[in-house]
Amino acid sequence: MATRIVTIASSVGLHARPASLFVQAANATGLDIEIGRPDEESVDATSILGVMALGARHGEQIVLTAEGDGADEALDSLVELLSRDLDAE
């Protein structure tokens, strides 16, 4: 299982537009990806409801995990996405 830790860069956190862009990217990988806070239960990263319910805020660290072929590359691209202020783009 591949794992990455990333700090949410979007000014509104992982809400609305940033959450939607993240979920679309996670779905595009075709992999089983989860997102959550360190030491807490994670949620399905391909579920907009799950991601928004997580309530990850600007500056907060989250953990991404993925399984399957290409998991490392998929997580690297998702980390790059979350490391940008998606609201400013």
Domain with residue 49: its CATH number is 3.30.1340.10
Structural domain boundaries, residue 56: 2-82
Bridge partners of 6, per DSSP, are 62
87 in any annotated domain: no
- Asked whether the beta carbons of 67 and 74 are under 8 A apart, the reply is no
Distance between CA atoms of residues 13 and 70, nearest Å? 27
Bridge partners of 88, per DSSP, are none
How many domains does the structure of the chain reveal? 1
pLDDT digits (tens, 9 = 90+) for 62-79: 999 999 999 999 999 999
pLDDT digits (tens, 9 = 90+) for 35-63: 999 999 999 999 999 999 999 999 999 99
Catalytic residue among 10, 13, 15, 54: 15
88 in any annotated domain: no
Residues 6+ apart with CB under 8 A from 29: 66, 70, 74, 77, 78
15 annotated active-site: yes
Evaluate if pTM is beyond 0.85: yes
